[in-house]
Every structure is written in structure tokens, then in C-alpha cells.
Structure 1
Amino acid sequence: MTTIGRRLAAMMLLAAATTAAGCGSARAGSPTARSSRAQGSKYSSETARPVGLASTGTSAQGAAATSGAPSEAFVDGYRAFEKRQYAVASERLSYAASALPTLADYALYYLGRSQLENGEPAAAAKSFERLLRDYPESVNAPAAEVSLAETYLKLGRASDAFQTASRTVKRARTAAIRARARMVLGRAALAMGNWRGAYGALMALRNEYPRSAEDVEARKLAYSILAQHPSLEKTGSAQYHLDEAALLLREGAPALALVQVREGLGLSPSREMRAELVFLEATALRSSPRRAEAAYLEYLRLAPEGVSAPVALERLALIYWDRNRMEQARRMFAEIVKRFPRSRLAPAAMLRIGRILEEEKKFDLARGEYLRILHRYPDSEAASQARFRAPWMYYMTGRYALAAASFQAMRMKARSASERDKFTYWRARALEESGNRSGARRIFARLSQGVQSNYYPALAALRVRAPMPFLPASVAELPKLEPLPALSGSAAFHLKRAIALQKLGLNQLAPGELWALYLHATGEPSLSRVVLAGFLASDAYYDAIVAAARMERRGELDRNVAERIRYPRGYHGLVSAAARRERIDPWFLFALIRQESLFNPRATSVSDARGLMQLLPSTGYRMARDDGRADPRRLDLYDPQVNVELGAAYLAKLLAMFQGDQMKAAAAYNAGEHAVEKWLRLSPGSDDEWVENITYRETREYVKRVIGGKREYQLLYGSDAAKSASAAPRRSSG
């Protein structure tokens, strides 16, 4: 490393240590300088006093802080915290922490956070200490503990920070809190001069939580430590650069991974090591297909039978397929099957050969490939698709009698209700195309009454006039909170808080208590009922769906009740209003939101799609700008109202683009309008045929789930949503 580089690293370390220590070491003999062990308690004994009352300012301010009911003070304080009005929050929450025992742990937690934002770390530490001492069972305890560790760092109490974070790493259940604790361990060890311990903690963070909020900071700090103490790693070895490049790819930093690869290649590694470095180079270049192609070919030259060879062949084949180099793509897929027949990629490669042959209109050759999959890999995932596509080739070439017979034969091998319904539907379609319309109509009529699956019965209903079937789940009674079971101990602790939060209208805080209560619900039907009812009452639809699925698997919840919970009318008012405003079928909108996020308003994808309708920031900005919203770049896409309004507007745009066709609009919502236009060019035809020919399996299944989900909502709720939507305000014509 150059002299300048070492100086820069030293400056970064100095800044990191200074940040960790706050404004310097605490004065000797001051409360913040004494260790918790010296005080005879895990946390400060001073926390026995009401927190924050001494720091609220004038007596007039103190009088204002204690005015009103304690519950009112808590709500005011929490709302002020949400609005970043931290001084007001501190005053109100300080009073609530002393006067509202039922929710004192919540008051202390948000008081501590407000005090931190106000620049009062010593007061914040006392708040967190008191919470952990008096309410160890609190759902806020893990977050308070890691916040306390971070606060100790600000106060220069590195040893206390290290000890507290160590406990958090062992006890916390969520990855986000453990990642924060690892970060504190690294910074605290650094502040204490323990370079090796700091580096180990930071590298553990990177390896265990490679895309966490702390990951980038941990990486920069680890690099700085390594620059000052190169003996911590064998940085002059190709193995180090190989491992670091692999980790950087996991962290989503391909450009940095390329730097490591090239440094490793510059060390004249062995042929085997060179091959693995080149494979990582190709992986890092995936956004540049031509350069990635060259790197994969080089890897295969170096290691034709290497451990990564099947993956390299597959990725090369996909590059060629995407660039319409069909012959080369087929040859690469065939190489996987020939050279690595036991690889998990082999059956998928055969399936893709079949799909390429379909695109080339070589349907009989494609059918042969699908039959070979069924013979060689009958239990593979590829075989489940090949079972359909083999008879589908007869249908695509107009040999409808053969198709009908083949669909019927394959139906006998179906492994699920939805797969049986698929073969039934397409047998009827083949009969219809062959001229046997009466036979087809009888099959469609029967299928339209099925309730074991939804997509194909929905298609069948479009072809015949049939009444909507009765769905038992539509009359299933949802769980109710009352009567409450007699509880004690930890279960009573959490139930009491869940109810208190709901009574105050703070539904967003209740799910944490309900999940804590869920841990006590195994084998307790009355408690399971309360947990589910609590989730539903709190508008925690995602939590209810997850809990209901688990309870049903354990045999603790009636399947019809579980089915109704799995398809909630989540955010009913928002969705109905947006459907009316954009003139969208409300059931279609409900189904699409369910498929996108399971009604989780905090959902985030690896591509940074956000919220209920999984909007990318770029899409949200574009729709907000078109809608004339002020400052569209600052919109919160995790806000349910903002997300649903913009998402519905985008869906309406897609529906208009595709003449109201819900299948194509759903496909475009998932894969983009350009992909849909490409598939339309490749496979024109009726909607049901077009969906089966969508190249991306994810999008193909997405469309089926959305259209099938729409039917499920119709069966469960009848015309309720349509009535609600009709009462919602229309979009202004201006």
C-alpha cells in the first residue's frame, strides 16, 4: 500500500474511534464513567428514578408534560416521535413512562430514542437501562438493548458497549438487531484498541448479514483495519482475493468484486484457482453479457469439468438464448445434460431445450425432448412442466384429437388439484377445437364448479354460463377476541399490552405483542384464536396470513377459516377507493396486491420494490409526477395509501395499454410491458393459450395466481367489494 493510502486508512480509523467514543471519555467519577458491574447491577442503579423528568426544562414545561391522562400522554408522545418532534416526544413520554405501567416499556423505548435524537445520550442510556431492568420480557427489549450498546459508544463507554452488544448477539431473534449488535462489537473493540477483535466482529457481520443496513459501513471499517494491520489476513494470496470477491458478490458489490478478482489474477495463481477467479469475474459481469460470455468461456477452457462448469454452461446458454443465438444456446444446454447428467441443472436444461425448439416452431422435436425428461427425470421440477408441454405440442400444431387424449392420459399422473384442473381444462379446449363442442361444454361446466383450485375453473366459467359455486370458506367465522382466556405470566404480560395498544388506536405496535403471545399458543386453541383475532383487528394482514398457515399445518386451525384469512380484504377502504378512482375491478386489485406482498406494507424486494404493490422508486416517482403530486421524489412508498394510489394508477395504465386485458396487464406488472410485447409477437392467440406460452415461468405462474386469486375473492366475498368501490370518490376530471 502507498504512503498516502496508509495515511488515509489511519485517518479513517481515527474518525471511527472518535465516533465510537462520542465527544471523548466520560469524566472520572461521573455516572457515565462507572461500569454497570461496579454499580452492583446489570444496568445503572440510577434508573430507579423516573426517567427524563429532571431534564424536561422549566417548571412550566414540566407541568405541560404531566397534563392529561397518562394514556393520552403516551399517544401524544408516540405521535410526536413519528413526526420527528423529539422535544415534545421526550416530555410526553417521560410522563407516560412513570404514570402508565401497562405501556411503560414502550414509553421508555421511544423516550430513549427521542433523547438520542435530541442529543441527550446520557438520558437515553438511563431510559434503555430502566426498560431492560424493569421489563425484561418486553418485545422492545432486544431493540432497546442494541440501542443501549450504541448509546454507550456515543458516551465513550466502549467496554459497556461491547458487553451489552455481546448479550444482544446471543439473545436477539431478528437478523436486523443482530447485525446492529455486530456493528457495535466491531466499533467497541476498535475503540478499546482490540484490532483483531474488531476485524473479526466486522467480518462476521459481513458474512452473516451481507446486505444489511450495516454491511457497507462494516466493510469500509474492516478494510481500514486491514490496511493498518495487514497481518490479519494473507492479503498477498490469491485465496484471500477469491474469498473476498465471493463475499463482495454476496454483498451486491460486483464492481468491487472485479477489483479483487483482477488483483488475485495478478498473483499468478494455480490453474484451478485461476479458473475460480475467472468464474467470479464472469458472475460480476452479468450486467455486461458480452464480457460475461468471454469470461465463462475462459472458465470452461480452464476447468471443463470444474465444480462451477454446469452453472457456467447454463449462464452461457441463457446469454445466447437472450440474444437469439438459438443453436448455441441449445448446444450449451445439451452439454449440461451430456457431461453432468446428475446435476440439478440437467432436467432444467432439457426443459429449456424444449422451449427453444418451441420458439423455433419445431414442435415435434420439442415434444420428444419433454418425453425424454419424463423418462430420465420423472420426479424433477422440470418433469411437472414437461407433463403439460408434451401434449401441448399436439394442441399447438392443431392435432386436437391427439391433444385431448394426451391431456387425459397425463391427468392420471397429475400430482395436485391445480395440475388435474389444468389437464381437464385443456382437454376440453382440445375437444372444443376438434368440433366436439357439447362434450367440451359439459367438462367446462363441471370444472367451473371446482373449488380446489382457481385459475382453470375461472377460465372454464368464461366459456359457459354457470352459477358461481359455493365456497365453504365464504361462511367460515373469523376468530374473535372475546372471550379472553385466563392467562398468567408472560402470556398475560403480552396480551395485556396488545389490548392496550389496540384500545389506543396504535394498531401498528400490537403485532409484536401478538407474535410473543403466539409462542405460547401451541396446543392452546383459545390462545390461537386470540392471536389471529388480534392480528386482524390490528390490520396486520400479513402476520395473520403467516400465523394462520402455520396453525393450519399443525392442525390447530380449521382449513376454511385459514383459507378466509389467507385472502383478506386488506386495507379495504384504500383498495376500494383506488379501484373506483382508476376504474379497476376491485377483486383484480386485491388479488394483485396479495400476490405482490401478501399485504405486507413494509415488504422490500432485492430489486428495491417497495410496499403493498411493490413499486420501484423510479415507477413511483413517474406515477407521482404524472399525477401532479408535490415533490414526488420524497414520497414514502411504504405508506399504504401512497403505495396503493400510485400502484393502482400504474395498473390502470397497463390495462389501458393492453385494451383492458387483465392477463396481459398482470404479466406486464410483473415482467414489464416490453416483455409482454415480445411474447405477443412470439405467440399470438387467445389469452389462455398466450399465458401457457409465456417464456418466464415466474410470470406465467404470477398471472395464473392473480387471475385465480380474483376468483377466490369473488367466491369469498361476493359483491361486497364492488359495493364499497362504487361508494368511493371518483378521480377528479380536472
Structure 2
Amino acid sequence: MKFKAIFLILFSPLWTSCLKTEERLKKTSHVNMDSYDDQLISSNTLEVKEKDRNKSSHELLFSTKTEFKQSIADSFKKAIGLINEKRYKEAISVLNSFDARAYEVEDYRLYYIAKAHLMNSNPGSAIKIIEKLEEEKQSILKNDALILAGDAYFSTGQYDKATQYYEKAFQSDEKTSLRKTSLLLKIAQSYELSEKTIKAREKYAKILREFPDSIEAQEALNGMRRLVPQFVIPEEWKWDRVEKFEKNRLFEEALAELETIQIPKQKEEKEKYLFKKAFLIFKARKSISESLKILMKLISNRKSKLSLDAILLSASCYKKLGDYKKARVLLQLYLKRYPESKDKGDVLTRLLELDLTEGRWNFIVKNYSKFDNEKTFLDDNQKHKVMRALGFSSFLIGDISKALQYFDRLRRGENDQMEQAGYNYWYSMTLLKKGNRVKPAEILRSIIQNYPLSYYAMLSMFKLKEIGESIDVKMVDDENSEKNIERDSCEYFPDKIKILLNAQMQREAEREIETWIGESLKEIEGKPDAIVGILRCSDYANIVFRRVQTKFNKYLSYYPYKDILVFWKILYPLIFIDDVREFSLKFNVSPYLVMSVMRQESSFNSQATSLEGATGLMQIMPQTGQNISKLLGEEFDRFLLYDRRVNIKFGTYYLSRLLDKFGGNEILALASYNGGPRNVENWLKRRWTDQMDLFVELIPLEQTRNYVRRVLTSYARYSFLYDKKIDNVLEIFSRRPLPNFKEDPSF
């Protein structure tokens, strides 16, 4: 029986399973069991019951192991359900039924037993279990256990002991401010109940000053008023709270807090208060006219230290209102009044942006050329903006020689790959205007070769076809392009993560995946097929995607054939593809365009929230979400935008509305998605050009310009990787803006 001894040593966690299998085989097989051990190792076919007739012993053991893991997941799901139903004793019984084979999730088993005991008013038993849990050194539940122990001691009135555990958890916890404030409140309440009033007040004060937007802030205020019945938030705390609200982009809350502060009598402090109020009114999208009224008073006082800032903010207000003339007057006033200001380079580029928006090409060439020199006060980024504006303005007024000079300098001095490809493209377009076809064709082919399937590579292909030149660039190895590397499963995750996933313990699984990826990244880097498989695991793919994205970007310098293909599919994965295809079909939008928007907006993170409040996978603004829900006849809550299906549905619907508004023009729809439909309408009304490649370059908002180019790059790559074609992308550049676009009052 030496094989059984070896098997026991190597696979002890599964040994019970082996014995059960052996017992079943004894009952159902005609095989002589004296030779069973040798047959087990060599995996000879056994004649067993009909359903197992064609399975080897190895397959039987694997099946048993898989079934066992699933049974653990089912037990966890059942136990947590019982806890939620307050059937704590039954939950404990289920969790205590686990045997030694459940060692991977022993820390979670202990944690939920302790939690059930505590919720069942049995803190003593909870504490004993937590002591066992503390022995699990590698568990990510260490801090959770500390908090649970604190809760247990708190419930028995041992507040000093509870505080020790809470403080320890607070010091070692690296999670969000949400978790920090929860712990701070627990600490403060423990100090309060142990009659350590000064320390309790310190903790309550910390919440009120540093986390005014937290759920715990009101509890902290109540706590302070229990300790100090006549307590009111001091004025200096209120300023801290305003700053915190503002930092978190909660401008309405910041404005409401500011208005509780008594207007200072001292002149400088009063001006500071008024400027802050004007700023918050502007940012909270309240009455811009009210904001301007305050600012004009500050501007009129030339001695005011805030006069300079008031001019800049007023210019932004007028720009927001579409009154570029007044915005320009204010910016020119700034340069005249403060000629030595360190911010004059920024002011000049703001003026340049206004001139570009209004299409004042001749004016730009005439008045900004003097800033294109080494001795200018502009920094490198500002010089680049001026040179770029001069290049396109010269191109548009037909000054070919000047345009060639600017584009040549830009392409030679640019380090960013997309920008470098862009300036090469426009250098070739300028040569074409000059009547030269040979050199431009060479440049366009080099762009296609050196910047695979990028926005400018697509433009170059389109232009070569338009002028009747061949592309002559090999983009794919047909022999390898059909290689199947898709695995729609999470088979590469460790057993612990698989169990948590199958138990639908999403929060716990996400934390484990984050830790596992951090520890295993080097190991899985050499297994790209494994990464592709992991990236098909829906809700948790974004964690993996964020970690591996920068590792494999280098492969985008090569076309996706042979061994490179798998890395491209890692960088352009089909995450949430079933949901995307469902809603793309419903709203008549290309699924690859939706995937491209999602990739750019959130990197597939369903919980993403921008500083402006855009939410979820496709970064829907709450107000936009509310409008969409009305149009779809659905109930709305802004937290629904964190639900992946809701977000994909709303985002795809919004994209379809924008495409419809602009006659199916993807460039205009994408510019609207990022920069807002009103801005795009304004740009179209100015009739800069009807060429879409030139329209993109003239978009005044740099963020929107880059957004359009990046999304179209992703669109080309998704289409090529999964649809084996790019004609649909090339067609985009043949479109022209419609003479009139559809009015859509909903957005």
C-alpha cells in the first residue's frame, strides 16, 4: 500500500474524498480492489456505474474535488443567508459542519462564526473564535477581526479593551475614508462611554472637521452635543469643512456650509469670503450672473489681493455663458494690469483658446507668432500650444510654407506617440496641398507601420485610398489570426477565490483578487492565456486589467499576429461583452464602439466615480442618468449607476441618442459624450471645416480632442481583433457634418 501512503502525504486535504470514492468503487465495480492503488495512480479505466463508466480514477478525484469546493461555496452562501435572516444558531451549525478540506477559507469560516455569535448576543464565544482567527497570519481579514473584537468588547461594556482594538485597526487600516470615519466614530463612542471626555471630543472633532461629508458626521455632531449641550460648530472648523467639501467636488454642500459662516468684517477676510462664494456658485452651476456680480466688485478694487483671481474667474463665467468677447476683454485687462504676473503664460493660452474657438486664423498667425521664440515667458507646454495653433492656422489660411515649418518642428520635438503620429500626418497633408504625392505616401505608410491600428494609422489608410496609393503594410498573419485564446472562466484563480466567487461573496472576492494579483503578477505575466481567461471574469476583471495594462503596452508597437495577438487581447478584452451586445443590439450601436467608450471612461471599473461625479462603467453623470431613466420610463436612483447592467444600458442608450442627433457621425457623438452636446453644437455653428480629421484637431478642449482620438483607436483595434475588419472605422472619416443637427432638449 505504499502508493496510498504517498498519496496521503501529497494530497491529505483530499484524502477523505479519495476514501469515499474508493468505497463507492468497491460497491459499483468488478475491479479487484487489491490492485486498486496501482490502478488509481495509472488512471486505468474502471467499470463503474453508467454515469462514471468512461471516467478515469483521476477524473473521478478531480470531479469530487470540484464538487466539494462547490459544496463549500453553497454552504457559505447558505450561512450568510441565515445570518441575514437572523437565524444565527443555524448559520453557526452550517459553518461548524466544514471539515479539514476547507482549509483555504478557514479564516472566512471563523470570521462569520464569530460574527454570528456576536449578533446572537454571545460576545464571549465571538472573542474566543476571534483569537483563533488572529492565528491566520496571511489572512486579509486581520483588520476585520480587530474591529469585530472591538465590537465584542464594546457590547460587554469593556470600553477600554474595545478602544485598544479599534485604535489598532485604525492605525493599520489602509482603506478609504469611509472606513476611517466608521472607526473614528467607534473610538469616540468608546471613549465617551468610558467617561474619557477630552479624548472623545477630540475624535468627534476630527470627524466634523476632516470628514464633514461622511455619514458619521451627524453622529459625531450628536456626540459632541451630548458632551457639550450648547455646542455649535466653530467658525474656523466651518472653513475646514468648506475646503473638504470643495476638495471632494461637493460644491453645493460647500456653498451651503459657507453660507452658515458670518460674513467677516475685516476687509481682507471679507473679500476672501466673497470670492469663495462666487467661485462655489459658479462650480455648483447656480446663478452665474450672481457670481459675476460679486466678482465685478472685487475687480473694481485694484488694491484687492483677489482682484487678479476675480478677473480669471469672471472670464471663465463669460466663457461659460458663450460671451467670448467679454471673456477676452477681461483676459486682456489681466495682462495689462498685471504684466509681471507669473500666470500670464496661462492667461495668454486662455486667450489663444478663445481665438481658436472663434476661428480667428489670420489673427492668430499675426498676433501669436511673436511668442514663438526661445526668450518668451511661456513654459514648454504653453509654447507647444502656441506652435500647434500657428501650424493649423497657417494650414487653414493656405500659408503652406509656414504650416510645413511648424508641423516639421512639432513632429521632431514631440515625445508622445499619438501627438508625434499626428504631426507626421499633418506634415504629409500639407505636402499634399503643395502638390507632392510621393513623400506624403511614404510618411502615411510609415505611420501605419509604426503606430499599429491607431487613430492616425486609420486616417493614413483612409487618405492613401483617397489619393489612389497602395497601403503595402502587412497587418496580420492569416495563419495565426484565428488562434483561439478565449476562455470564459475563472479557472486560473486560486481555490479560495473560486469558492468566494461561487458563494457570491463579491466584496470578499474582490479584496482577495486585489491581493492575489499583487503577489502573483510576475508569475502570471508569463501566462498571457491565463490573463485572457481571468479578464473574462466579469465583475473582477477591472482589478486585473488595471494591474497588467502598463505591463503589456509595449506590445502595441507591433501588429497583432503570431505570439503578439494574445497581448493585444489582454489590452482590449471583451469584459461584460454579453451585456454590451444585448444593449448594443437593442439601441443599434456597434458593440465595439461601446467597449471602446467603456475602456476609456473607466477601465472597466463599475465602481469608478470621477471628481465631477460621473459614475460607473460608462461614467454617466447623475443628471444625465435621471434624464435617460425618464426617457426609458424607469425608476432612477443615482446609486443604480454603479450597477453594471444599468450603466451599460444607460451609456449605450445615450450614445445612440447622440449618434441620432448628429446623423450617425461617430466623431461628433464621441465629442458630445465627453465635451457635452451644447459645446459641439457651438463648434459646428462656427463652420470651421467639413473635414472630420481637421475638425478633431480644432476641438478647443484638449481633453475632448484626446478622448475622441483614443476611443477611435480602441474602436479600430476592437474591430480588427474580433471582427477581422476595419472598413467600418475608415468610413467614419468620409462622413461630413450635416447642415442641421437634431435638437434634443433632453440633453
The equivalent of 1:385 in structure 2 is 385
The equivalent of 2:423 in structure 1 is 423
- Residues 566-577 of structure 1: matches in 2 within 5 Å? 566-577=571-582
Contact 1:86 1:115 in 2 (8 A): no
1:600 equivalent to 2:592? Answer no
The equivalent of 2:683 in structure 1 is 679
CA deviation string 1:45-100 (max 9, x = no partner)? xxxxxxxxxxxxxxxxxxxxxxx968525435437858995347974575235513
1:218–1:284: structure 2 CA closer, same or farther, 3 Å change rule? Answer: farther
1:663 equivalent to 2:660? Answer no
Aligned equivalents of 2:472 and 2:207: distance in 1?
Answer: 58
Local SS of the residue matching 1:464 = helix
Aligned equivalents of 1:79 and 1:406: distance in 2?
Answer: 69
Aligned equivalents of 2:511 and 2:526: distance in 1?
Answer: 15
Local SS of the residue matching 1:174 = coil
CA deviation string 1:547-587 (max 9, x = no partner)? 124656999xx996766533222122222333333332222
Aligned-residue offset at 1:319: 0.9
- Residues 35-184 of structure 1: matches in 2 within 5 Å? 71-72=70-71, 74-75=73-74, 77-78=76-77, 81=80, 86-87=85-86, 91-92=90-91, 95-96=94-95, 99=98, 100-109=102-111, 122=123, 126=127, 129=130, 132-146=133-147, 149=150, 157-175=158-176, 176-184=178-186
Contact 1:417 1:453 in 2 (8 A): no
CA deviation string 1:197-252 (max 9, x = no partner)? 233323434555565x436436644774696365x98x4xx655544443443455
Aligned equivalents of 1:127 and 1:638: distance in 2?
Answer: 38
Aligned equivalents of 1:356 and 1:101: distance in 2?
Answer: 65
The equivalent of 1:268 in structure 2 is 265
- Residues 685-700 of structure 1: matches in 2 within 5 Å? 685-700=690-705
- Mean alpha-carbon deviation: is it higher for 399-408 or for 685-694? 399-408
The equivalent of 1:313 in structure 2 is 311
Local SS of the residue matching 1:604 = coil
Aligned equivalents of 2:633 and 2:708: distance in 1?
Answer: 31
1:372 aligned partner, one-letter code? F
Local SS of the residue matching 1:412 = helix
Aligned equivalents of 1:698 and 1:82: distance in 2?
Answer: 46
1:249 equivalent to 2:254? Answer no
Local SS of the residue matching 1:636 = helix
Local SS of the residue matching 2:408 = helix
CA deviation string 1:664-699 (max 9, x = no partner)? 111222233222212211244222222222232222
1:477–1:74: structure 2 CA closer, same or farther, 3 Å change rule? Answer: closer
1:280 equivalent to 2:276? Answer yes
- Aligned partner (choices 593, 605, 610) of residue 588 of structure 1: 593
The equivalent of 1:488 in structure 2 is none
1:436–1:379: structure 2 CA closer, same or farther, 3 Å change rule? Answer: same
2:360 aligned partner, one-letter code? K
The equivalent of 2:203 in structure 1 is 201
- Residues 527-538 of structure 1: matches in 2 within 5 Å? 535-536=534-535, 538=537
The equivalent of 1:372 in structure 2 is 371
Aligned equivalents of 1:632 and 1:525: distance in 2?
Answer: 41
Contact 1:202 1:222 in 2 (8 A): yes
1:266–1:315: structure 2 CA closer, same or farther, 3 Å change rule? Answer: closer
1:277 aligned partner, one-letter code? Y
Aligned equivalents of 1:530 and 1:207: distance in 2?
Answer: 50
Aligned equivalents of 2:483 and 2:348: distance in 1?
Answer: 45
Aligned-residue offset at 1:282: 2.1
Contact 1:265 1:274 in 2 (8 A): no
Aligned-residue offset at 1:180: 2.0
Local SS of the residue matching 2:459 = helix
Aligned equivalents of 2:651 and 2:618: distance in 1?
Answer: 6
Contact 2:245 2:254 in 1 (8 A): yes
The equivalent of 1:398 in structure 2 is 398
Aligned equivalents of 2:483 and 2:308: distance in 1?
Answer: 50
Aligned-residue offset at 1:318: 0.7
Contact 1:81 1:114 in 2 (8 A): no
1:506–1:182: structure 2 CA closer, same or farther, 3 Å change rule? Answer: closer
Two-structure CA RMSD over aligned residues (Å): 4.6
Contact 1:655 1:665 in 2 (8 A): yes
- Mean alpha-carbon deviation: is it higher for 503-512 or for 165-174? 503-512
* Percent identity of paired positions between Structure 1 and Structure 2: 19
Aligned-residue offset at 1:359: 3.6
The equivalent of 1:291 in structure 2 is 290
Aligned equivalents of 1:301 and 1:371: distance in 2?
Answer: 31
1:120–1:456: structure 2 CA closer, same or farther, 3 Å change rule? Answer: farther
Contact 2:188 2:201 in 1 (8 A): yes
CA deviation string 1:276-330 (max 9, x = no partner)? 2223222222233222223334445668573x66543322211122234434423
TM-score, structure 2 normalization: 0.72
CA deviation string 1:2-33 (max 9, x = no partner)? xxxxxxxxxxxxxxxxxxxxxxxxxxxxxxxx
CA deviation string 1:91-125 (max 9, x = no partner)? 45752355133213334445666788x77684995
Higher alpha-carbon Rg? 2
Aligned-residue offset at 1:593: 0.6
1:679–1:262: structure 2 CA closer, same or farther, 3 Å change rule? Answer: same
TM-score, structure 1 normalization: 0.73
1:102–1:481: structure 2 CA closer, same or farther, 3 Å change rule? Answer: farther
Q: Which runs of 5+ in 2 are unaligned?
A: 1-66, 466-470, 729-747
Aligned-residue offset at 1:358: 2.8
Number of residue equivalences: 636
- Residues 397-546 of structure 1: matches in 2 within 5 Å? 397-436=397-436, 440-451=440-451, 454-465=454-465, 466=471, 470=475, 495=494, 497-498=496-497, 500-501=499-500, 509-521=508-520, 535-536=534-535, 538-539=537-538, 540-546=540-546
Aligned equivalents of 1:130 and 1:259: distance in 2?
Answer: 47
1:222–1:660: structure 2 CA closer, same or farther, 3 Å change rule? Answer: farther
1:169 aligned partner, one-letter code? F
Contact 1:159 1:192 in 2 (8 A): yes
Aligned equivalents of 2:155 and 2:434: distance in 1?
Answer: 78
CA deviation string 1:123-179 (max 9, x = no partner)? 995598357434343223334444554566566554344222211111111123223
Contact 1:425 1:460 in 2 (8 A): yes
Aligned equivalents of 1:83 and 1:609: distance in 2?
Answer: 36
